[in-house]
Structure 1
Amino acid sequence: MPSHQPHTIAPSDLPKTITRYLRAHRDHDTATAVTAFTGDATVTDDGKTYQGAPAIERWLDRAATEFTYTIELTDAQQIDPAHYVATHHLDGNFPGGSVDLRYRFSLRDDLIERLVIEP
């Protein structure tokens, strides 16, 4: 398997599916955000993994209401045609108050198959 070096891309060059998810997530639009995922997708956030659309929808709903925060897309990278990283800076009322998180996306058939969110 060839190793791919990530390269920086303009946030506007992220695939439409990722952009749609990020915008919907930022706007707390769970119904739109969940449509960006495959039916069997997994999301790993805060050390917990959520599999399938119903679990992801519950995670999105909770993420939207648990804390108040601002989120800013600060960097985007493409690893290969199916793998992207979007780095976000969050400020809010969560523990620590400020964090940079990497959203690691794996795509399949123009949908998000896997998302891992970690510092």
Structure 2
Amino acid sequence: MIDSTKMPGAARAYFDGGDARDVFTEDAVVRDDGRMYVGIGEIVAWKSAVSTAFTFTQKIESVHTPGSAVVVSVNVEGDFPGSPIRLHHHFTLDGDRISALTVCP
């Protein structure tokens, strides 16, 4: 397993369960499961809906940091359809916050 402390702070805070208000920029965009969430209000609602709908664990498999991006491959296992699955989280950082996140298989 990869040591998440080697990830840039905002991505690490995301995986450590940080409050979306402290992790994302106000105008951030998240793309997940074919949907787009724009702005901190929609992102907070998305994060809350996912965490209450399913129980799951995440195991970070790899971290790549090309330029201002961070790409994290994660094995996710839980009580959701299609479990287990490997997901790739593509972060775009703006300083110490996430300005964009795309989650895809």
Normalising by structure 1, what TM-score? Answer: 0.81
Tell me the distance in 1 between the aligned counterparts of 2:38 and 2:20.
15
Tell me the distance in 2 between the aligned counterparts of 1:91 and 1:52.
28
Counterpart of 1:115?
101
For 1:71, give the aligned amino acid. Answer: Q
Deviation, 1:10, is: 5.9
Q: Deviations over 1:46-97 (max 9, x none)?
A: 01000000000000100101111111111101111x1010111011111122
Q: CA RMSD in A?
A: 1.5
The list of structure 1 runs, each at least 4 consecutive aligned residues, that deviate by more than 3 angstroms after superposition, is none
Q: Kindly, what percent of the aligned residue pairs are identical?
A: 31
Normalising by structure 2, what TM-score? Answer: 0.91
Could you list the runs of 5+ residues in structure 2 that have no partner in the other structure? none
For 1:85, give the aligned amino acid. Answer: V
Counterpart of 1:101?
87
Look up the SS of the partner of 1:79 in the other structure.
coil
